[in-house]
Structure 1
Amino acid sequence: MTISEALTVDQAVDRMEALRSTLPTGDGVAVFNRMYLRVTRLVRERLGETYFADPAGMSELDAVFAARYLDAVEAASDGRRPAPCWRPLFELRNRPGIHPLQYALAGMNTHIEHDLPLSVLDTCRLLGSRPEDVRADYHRINDLLAQVEAEVREELLPGPQAPAAAEALLHVLGVWSIDRAREAAWATVEALWELRHTPAVEDAVAGTLSRTVGMVSRALLTPVE
């Protein structure tokens, strides 16, 4: 049984909380984990409200989504290499000169542009639905991701007392936008859905996506200090 089959939203929160208590504060994975824990808690709160059109379906999607990140954590802990899209974050997690905000956004880049579209497809297969059936709630999840991303940017950006550091950081982070990432992720959903009857081609495209997303994450982790 895979993590994605066994996981619930509560279990995902529990695992991320356990990671938060064990990882050093400055560790790059710890930085992203804190950010993603905020997102997952927020989704869990909304599942009990009227925020989502299909709370049960979104609970499944959120669990599958979280499992992809936790799979990468488990691989690194076991001495295995995570998927190419996650390797930059895990390989550079303690590299000097990388600002915490870079770790947060590199992790978000990987999780949105790679993990989210594949998780949508996995959830559609599990529930017997189509991407169009989850599109409205997909955008609601993205709105929560964008909310937390904006909060984290504000919290972690260097203050006016460090103008040089802020300028270098903004130059590096200028290669990525959460709005473009969200648009690209949905385009990936639609493209891979059309390839679902040709698994070899679908796998090849997904593998290329993982490597391409990893390249952007590595660029986001260019040292700025």
Structure 2
Amino acid sequence: MSVRQASTINEVIQIMDEIIETSKLEQSPMGLFAMLYREVTVRIKQGISDDSFQNGERMEKLDVIFANRYIKAYYQYKANEKPSECWAFSFEQAEKFWPIVIQHLLLGMNAHINLDLGIAAAEVSTAENIGDLKSDFDKINTILSSLVAGVEKCLIKIWPTLTFLLKLTGKADNFFIDFSMETARNGAWKFANEFVLLPENQINSCILERDARITEIARLVSNPGYYVSTIFKFIRLFERGSVAQKIIDLRIMEEKNMECVTV
């Protein structure tokens, strides 16, 4: 199969828009992560235009390589081909009824940050200069780490009594905290620094090993234990709106959230 790939950040946004529109038509939760990621890409593009990054040219190259890993996985799955295991697991959950919005988003973030980001960072670097990327890498993560706050706001709109439930139990709230964005991005940077040192004949085996570990995290996100899973099923039964409406709501919330984020 010839997998569609972007060559510029504008093409990344265009492809994201197409995935989102297809997902809305198909009422597929796959569009939830695509919408979230689109808004991050728009913010990175703005940061490049504003000279907020140390090296804008390198940042666009990183953004495109990073995005293309997700885009490739999406089109492979849609063509009934097998993408990386963690992406396959994420996409498979979009075909099931029970996962709630936050689980769909965390599954996408898990695959993209814990697997794809480190590989992309290594691919725009060498063992000698990867340290030069750290400042811009951290700025990307300032944007990525803003996702959780926006997601929680979106969830509360979709299911308004969530605020009461989180205060009442504390358990579901810990689910957001336990999936630590700081841990994920620090792990991605550590992985990038290890990955960039590998000889070519070890790259594929390293990716497969990392992919298997990240898939185990995905399984925990999908099934976070009896108590939290029961709460999530209750939330799912009372979620408002169609998948298409949830995607629209997420875009509105993330656009508002991104207005408060500075690179």
Structure 1, 32-41 or 21-30: larger mean CA deviation: 21-30
**Corresponding position: 1:119 with 2:101:** no
8 A Cα contact 1:173 1:220, kept in partner: no
The match for 1:147 is 146
Matches of 1:48 and 1:129, distance apart in 2: 27
The match for 1:216 is 217
The match for 1:61 is 62
RMSD: 2.4
**Corresponding position: 1:20 with 2:23:** no
**Corresponding position: 1:11 with 2:8:** no
Matches of 2:95 and 2:163, distance apart in 1: 22
The match for 2:106 is 105
Q: Aligned ranges for residues 1-225 of structure 1 at < 5 Å?
A: 7-24=7-24, 27-124=28-125, 130-157=129-156, 158-160=159-161, 163=164, 167=169, 169-170=172-173, 172-195=175-198, 198-222=199-223, 224-225=232-233
Gaps of 5+ in 1: none
Matches of 1:2 and 1:193, distance apart in 2: 25
8 A Cα contact 2:155 2:162, kept in partner: no
8 A Cα contact 2:148 2:176, kept in partner: no
Q: How far does residue 161 in structure 1 lie from its aligned partner after superposition?
A: 5.6
Matches of 1:75 and 1:165, distance apart in 2: 37
Amino acid at match of 1:99: I
Identical residues among aligned pairs (%): 21
Aligned to 2:196, the other structure's residue is in SS state helix
Structure 1, 183-192 or 199-208: larger mean CA deviation: 199-208
Aligned to 2:54, the other structure's residue is in SS state coil
8 A Cα contact 1:175 1:220, kept in partner: no
For 1:37-93, what per-residue CA distance to the aligned partner results, in whole angstroms no more than 9, with x for missing partners? 110111111110021010010010001100000001110111101111201111110
Matches of 2:138 and 2:166, distance apart in 1: 34
CA distance 1:61–1:3, shift in 2 (3 Å): farther
Q: How far does residue 148 in structure 1 lie from its aligned partner after superposition?
A: 3.0
Amino acid at match of 1:205: C
Normalising by structure 1, what TM-score?
0.87
Aligned to 1:124, the other structure's residue is in SS state coil
Structure 1, 17-26 or 213-222: larger mean CA deviation: 17-26
Structure 1, 53-62 or 128-137: larger mean CA deviation: 128-137
4+ runs deviating over 3 angstroms: 1-4, 157-175
Q: How far does residue 165 in structure 1 lie from its aligned partner after superposition?
A: 8.1
Gaps of 5+ in 2: 224-228, 234-263
Q: How far does residue 120 in structure 1 lie from its aligned partner after superposition?
A: 0.7
Amino acid at match of 1:181: A
Structure 1, 95-104 or 25-34: larger mean CA deviation: 25-34
Normalising by structure 2, what TM-score?
0.76
Larger Rg: 2
Q: How far does residue 173 in structure 1 lie from its aligned partner after superposition?
A: 4.3
8 A Cα contact 1:38 1:148, kept in partner: no
For 1:15-55, what per-residue CA distance to the aligned partner results, in whole angstroms no more than 9, with x for missing partners? 00011111138523111011001101111111100210100
Q: How far does residue 172 in structure 1 lie from its aligned partner after superposition?
A: 4.6
Matches of 2:50 and 2:139, distance apart in 1: 13
8 A Cα contact 2:28 2:95, kept in partner: yes
